[in-house]
Structure 1
Amino acid sequence: MQVYHNLSRFRKRSSLSTWIFRIAINEAKRHFRARKGVEQVGIEAETLAVSPTAERAMIEHQQDRALAAAIERLPEKQRMTVLLRTQQNLSFQEVAAVLGCSVGSARVNFHHAVKRLRRELAGS
């Protein structure tokens, strides 16, 4: 929706896809700012039977939640770099264009983020 409403503001200083990703990032930032301070409490409605398959699914679900929480705690540039690389499958060059930094900075941000995530998840 934001892309449609702001199409007249596109200045062609970057590719259209980069401009659209920038809008998506700004919307994501707005979303995360709105969620700050709101404690989320989740209650599972389903009761899993104790079986190897159910147990494995529960472990994977817990690991996914731990990873998502750890990613949310990353500094903004690192978090955005990780999300653009892993969720959007962008190259480092594309990530750099979206974030307005050098390719080297995008690589360093990603490296530091992965290192921090590994360290944090190893402790949990």
Structure 2
Amino acid sequence: MSTAELQAELQRRERNIKKLERRRERLMEDLQEIEKQLASEDALSASGGIRGRPRNEMNLVDSLAAVLNGKEMSVTEVTQAVQQAGYMTTAANFRTIVNQALIREKKRFKKVSRGRYTAR
């Protein structure tokens, strides 16, 4: 590349940077306007509009132990029983989480047969 070509390329890139900076400024102004509208509509809660995960009285393992106490259930049955007992979750794969907890907590749960557990 010649010096003239390099200078032309630099100028082209500088113009492109200026265009991008102007576009960014316009977008920032638009964003500020949208945030003002949301605030005036009370769309944002005090916590910033972000929903947290639900808090339960007992952790999952304690809830599983309470549901399984004196009973033998499959993983699916345990999952449903824990949720019916009031355990809240937003997990899409809650059955898998329950299964992992039952396998991990060997001191608290006993595997009776394939896929069936009881509390110790």
Scaled to the shorter chain, the TM-score interval is under 0.3
Higher strand share: 2
Pair member with larger Rg: 2
Higher helix share: 1
